[in-house]
Structure 1
């Protein structure tokens, strides 16, 4: 690795920051429904099941967007895919705001979901392919930072319009980041690795020269060209190739576990959870949720500072451990509140606030940003779009299942039972990470690809010797 290759320029920071605005769309829509749903329920007279449909309908769209986003990003490019996502997001937002029927509202939510399903993985993919390896972790994690900022903005917007109960204005505020992303990405370059992938090495060299701030990019370009020639163009069947099996298992496993530990239950239903704990007023529960959003942003900043210093693996392990402890606190707190011991001095509202703060802080320092970073790093270039698409589809599908069943699970096993179940999942997630997730800090994408290829060769060699 040369010093020029790892050089950090102002332009690459701008490129990463603009692409990361896609995270605001993701975060804003994730957060805005948590407050808006309190008033949507009143306007459309929703049952518990219909409320779950209203919240989770966006996830149906996200699954569709993630499924088709991989082939789309390989066919038309990472930049064009993000542009398409921003247009779909704006259309979906206007459909939601202008809807007079619940069915029209759901169509708009699904369109928004398609947009964030595409953007949720194409943005970190694009950033990982333009970033120097020395700060790739921090730059890709910018996307997660802006997701948290998007959530916080949504909480603030919810609080501002809560007194009037104007849920349409809450959603309409999303037009601002959607428009900024559309204009900003139009001015950004294409991914140099994608340009090599479609056999345009000269154009890739021009982009590399601009983002690295040097005319000599031959070493990096040669590594990318060599990687493409060795792998060729990928297909869905290539995802089961020996060198891809472990990365695929890691991505899909982390995708499920990130959601199964309950994060989007907390984000979508935070005001509802505070109402469970005794904050009956909508404005009060939304205000309490704003504090959770602030913690999310601040700790994500810490994660960005740590990820290229402490590494991915240690942060993941500490993160999941903290999430499990937080869910244990919530589970015990709600259990005690429903028993004779519920007359304890500490109020359930305070226990809930402490548990949620620990949980969100733990998620933000590790599993939140590092999942998206890991899946942008570990796949070969030839199948990177497809593999990230599959991992993202899995993530959104798990998100859908968790969001669509939360209230039903609460009715079935109680608030305490749900939180204790999430704590058990966190324990399994810790064991999964400890056993399987490698450290990728400081490695180029090509070096990571070579690592998994050599590991597959060693494993196959051992299997052949065993047969002999």
Structure 2
């Protein structure tokens, strides 16, 4: 098989995953602007406004819980096909509804499709990529997600004068349909083929994805790793040697969301209104600038994740969130919400979002895909994303009541404390996995969350 053919296969894998990431980002970002006009047209109370966001996250949790078993049973690629069909159908449905009940139902099912993609798309990428660039490709999925959020804000801003929330919600159906034709031409991952005993297909896939690698050697390593133990049961994840890995990824997943990023993604127009900004175009346009900065930060993480390692990037991103939360506390506490004070708040929101996407947002996908052996990988990622989404649900449900009842300063004190806890947790528990194969990383957890002496990186 020629190098050009192999390059084409690699490009199709990357493009398919990126498109799914863009659609996912668009579908979680478009409600921010659309909600302003849905509320006006349907005369929604604050509780019903929150339901439009929280039902999506509730669907995410269901999708994440079933994603591991589904992806193992039918394959990574077929599960991704289920995802994009769900994206197309339920995005279009949400644009056609006439009342809040059917809007919530359509968004719940859209949320299930999103939950599936949160688990399966990064796994598909991680299992297809060589170790040397695996981190960059998985972070690339986060780049695509942030691009989708940015596109959602730009579309919402362009439609702000007309208030056409139906078009805001329904546009993502178009790329969802298009990516179906790309996915059907892709192979599944070599590791899934080995899990199912389809070794020749696994060998062919390895050669297609990376012609420079020794396919027979990689196939033997994957087969030995999968066959070394009984596989794939949730009870195994909570026993030695993987109980520590499980608790690490579950805690990390929870901290990613509980620190507040989706409060900004979902409700930034409301936050900017409280800072004194006026006009729908302005309060929707400013979040677009924030997401553009987040995209730059995510791309920056993409270029350095395999050079400097996971830990420095993650700690640097969380530190930016700490500083930004402190600025937001000062902005709200001093009451300087007009003139210069509001622009300080805008800058803090921008840095908070960029810091999150540079660190947490990019690296959560990497750790989700690296922390378990093949037989537990999708199950582990599914559990981690479940804790992530539970925290997301908490933030989506309670952020607006906290802002209304306790005020902005107290709300961001809570986020400051949670970011500090996150920094301490990562500093103490996050392993550095830069440049290591997926199979070798399991030795870290099997050795009591310590690298064996022979696995320690050499110092130049």
TM-score interval, normalised by the smaller of the two chains: over 0.9
Dislocated runs of 4+, deviation >4 Å: 456-459
Matched, 1:370 2:359: no
TM-score, normalised to structure 1's length? 0.93
Q: Is the 8 A contact 2:125 2:138 kept in 1?
A: yes
Report the Cα distance in structure 1 between the residues aligned to 2:303 and 2:431, rounded to whole angstroms. 20
Residue aligning to 2:353: 360
Residue aligning to 1:424: 417
Residue aligning to 2:406: 413
Q: Is the 8 A contact 1:259 1:395 kept in 2?
A: yes
Q: Is the 8 A contact 1:89 1:115 kept in 2?
A: yes
Once the 2 structures are TM-superposed, how far is the Cα of residue 451 of structure 1 from its aligned partner?
2.2
Gaps of 5+ in 1: 1-7, 460-468
Once the 2 structures are TM-superposed, how far is the Cα of residue 17 of structure 1 from its aligned partner?
2.9
1:41-440, aligned counterparts within 5 Å? 41-214=39-212, 216-337=214-335, 342=336, 347-440=340-433
Report the Cα distance in structure 2 between the residues aligned to 1:257 and 1:456, rounded to whole angstroms. 20
Report the Cα distance in structure 1 between the residues aligned to 2:315 and 2:214, rounded to whole angstroms. 39
Residue aligning to 2:442: 449
Q: Secondary structure at the match of 2:377?
A: helix
Report the Cα distance in structure 1 between the residues aligned to 2:368 and 2:18, rounded to whole angstroms. 16
Once the 2 structures are TM-superposed, how far is the Cα of residue 131 of structure 1 from its aligned partner?
0.2
Residue aligning to 1:3: none
Report the Cα distance in structure 1 between the residues aligned to 2:294 and 2:315, rounded to whole angstroms. 18
Once structures 1 and 2 are overlaid, which stretch shifts more, 355-364 or 434-443?
Answer: 355-364
Report the Cα distance in structure 1 between the residues aligned to 2:191 and 2:124, rounded to whole angstroms. 9
Q: Is the 8 A contact 1:59 1:396 kept in 2?
A: yes
TM-score, normalised to structure 2's length? 0.94
Once the 2 structures are TM-superposed, how far is the Cα of residue 233 of structure 1 from its aligned partner?
2.5
Report the Cα distance in structure 2 between the residues aligned to 1:307 and 1:456, rounded to whole angstroms. 21
Q: Is the 8 A contact 1:95 1:107 kept in 2?
A: no
Once the 2 structures are TM-superposed, how far is the Cα of residue 82 of structure 1 from its aligned partner?
0.8
Once the 2 structures are TM-superposed, how far is the Cα of residue 49 of structure 1 from its aligned partner?
1.2
Q: Secondary structure at the match of 1:98?
A: coil
Relative to structure 1, the CA distance from residue 456 to residue 309 in structure 2 (aligned partners, 3 Å threshold; closer, same or farther) is closer
Once the 2 structures are TM-superposed, how far is the Cα of residue 24 of structure 1 from its aligned partner?
1.2
Gaps of 5+ in 2: 1-5, 453-460
Report the Cα distance in structure 1 between the residues aligned to 2:282 and 2:179, rounded to whole angstroms. 32
Q: Is the 8 A contact 2:64 2:383 kept in 1?
A: yes
Once the 2 structures are TM-superposed, how far is the Cα of residue 383 of structure 1 from its aligned partner?
1.2
Once the 2 structures are TM-superposed, how far is the Cα of residue 357 of structure 1 from its aligned partner?
1.2
Q: What is the CA RMSD across the aligned residues, in angstroms?
A: 1.7
Q: Is the 8 A contact 1:16 1:140 kept in 2?
A: no
Report the Cα distance in structure 1 between the residues aligned to 2:344 and 2:450, rounded to whole angstroms. 51
Once the 2 structures are TM-superposed, how far is the Cα of residue 280 of structure 1 from its aligned partner?
2.4
Once the 2 structures are TM-superposed, how far is the Cα of residue 214 of structure 1 from its aligned partner?
4.7
Q: Is the 8 A contact 1:138 1:304 kept in 2?
A: yes
Report the Cα distance in structure 2 between the residues aligned to 1:215 and 1:329, rounded to whole angstroms. 49
The aligned length equals: 447
Report the Cα distance in structure 1 between the residues aligned to 2:337 and 2:82, rounded to whole angstroms. 55
Relative to structure 1, the CA distance from residue 343 to residue 330 in structure 2 (aligned partners, 3 Å threshold; closer, same or farther) is closer
